[in-house]
């Protein structure tokens, strides 16, 4: 398969929890910083993510939609699309964004149902990146029309959910992406490893136990089922002791 290298980097508790409550998003970190610092102190995360960029030099950052919009969130209502929707269901790659001189990376979101609707371009935080949505043939036309109106690129692969293997081939061929880095644990990392798309795993392991039955974990994925779905084997590459007894575990994923 002609695809980019894919690297996961994520903070987790000793029991593999990546957040503190069900349906939490990355924005909850800002609402309760004292609580979330127990799981992942901001200084540790900044140092960790900086070193990840230095090691892997990713040219695309990937997030799952659930990291940005909780399942319980009320979606932003968009104007009903009245025109011919046929052209909407084609990849949208504006030339001025694709060949923008200041852009060095992409910031992408896997959003098969069209739920992330705030028009965020990533440019406001970092002029060297730009947002691109990875979506499906069954995304609402209002969502695709909204992205076009905001000049936000999108790629389409799959029907009810994003076909990740085909999408990554498209990302490689159309965007020339060589390395994808994702900080989304849970469903996205679970889908990546189940589809044999994850190459290396970096875990910033924090000395705390969270517990719970429904809180997202490192790899939320279908149950192992012999012989169709087997546990994934890893090879330990490196262990670093960071501040406050926080460990950085670096693994290579072994595929048979």
**So what's the pLDDT on residue 152?**
97
**So what's the pLDDT on residue 242?**
87
**So what's the pLDDT on residue 133?**
98
**So what's the pLDDT on residue 41?**
75
Tens of pLDDT, residue by residue over 122-147, are: 988 899 999 999 999 999 999 999 99
User: Is pLDDT at 37 greater than 90 in this prediction?
Assistant: no
pTM of the model: 0.93
Give the range among 25-29, 37-41, 117-121, 224-228 with minimum mean pLDDT.
Answer: 25-29
- Over residues 192-213, mean pLDDT: 94
Q: Are strands 179-182 and 5-13 parallel, antiparallel or unpaired?
A: parallel
Tens of pLDDT, residue by residue over 58-114, are: 999 999 999 899 888 999 999 999 988 999 999 999 999 999 999 999 999 999 999
Tens of pLDDT, residue by residue over 10-32, are: 999 999 999 888 888 777 666 66
How many Cβ atoms sit within 10 Å of the Cβ of residue 150? 13
Nearest CA-CA partner of 211 in 28, 54, 17 = 17
DSSP three-state, residue 107: strand
Give the range among 94-98, 175-179, 240-244 with minimum mean pLDDT.
Answer: 240-244
Q: What are phi and psi of 200, to 5 degrees?
A: -140, 150
What is the spatial distance between Cα 72 and Cα 24, in angstroms, rounded to a whole number? Answer: 9
**So what's the pLDDT on residue 42?**
72
Q: Are 201 and 56 in contact (CB under 8 A)?
A: no
**So what's the pLDDT on residue 256?**
74
User: Rounded to 10 degrees, what is the CA torsion of 198, 199, 203, 209?
Assistant: 40
**So what's the pLDDT on residue 29?**
63
What are the structural domains of the chain? Answer: 1-58+180-256 (3.40.430.10), 60-177 (3.40.430.10)
């Amino acid at each position: 398969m002609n695809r980019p290298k894919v690297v996961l980097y994520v903070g987790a508790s000793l029991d593999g929890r990546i957040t503190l409550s069900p349906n939490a998003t990355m924005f909850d970190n800002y609402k309760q910083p004292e609580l979330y610092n127990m799981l992942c102190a901001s200084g540790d995360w900044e140092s960790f993510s900086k070193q990840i960029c230095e090691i892997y030099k990713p040219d695309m950052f990937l997030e799952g939609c659930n990291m940005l919009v909780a399942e319980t969130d009320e979606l932003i209502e968009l104007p009903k699309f009245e025109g011919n929707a046929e052209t909407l269901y084609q990849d949208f790659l504006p030339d001025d964004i694709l060949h923008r001189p200041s852009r060095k990376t992409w910031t992408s979101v896997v959003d098969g149902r069209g739920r992330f609707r705030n028009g965020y371009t990533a440019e406001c935080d970092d002029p060297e990146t730009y947002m691109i949505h990875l979506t499906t043939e069954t995304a609402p036309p209002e969502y695709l029309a909204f992205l076009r109106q905001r000049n936000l690129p999108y790629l389409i692969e799959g029907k009810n959910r994003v076909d990740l293997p085909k999408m990554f081939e498209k990302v490689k061929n159309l965007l020339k992406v060589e390395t994808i880095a994702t900080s989304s644990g849970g469903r996205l990392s679970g889908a990546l490893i189940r589809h044999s798309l994850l190459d290396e795993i970096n875990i910033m392991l924090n000395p705390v136990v969270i517990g719970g039955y429904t809180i997202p974990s490192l790899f939320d994925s279908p149950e192992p089922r012999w012989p169709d779905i087997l546990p994934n084997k890893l090879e330990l590459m490196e262990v670093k002791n960071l501040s406050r007894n926080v460990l950085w575990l670096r693994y290579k994923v072994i595929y048979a």
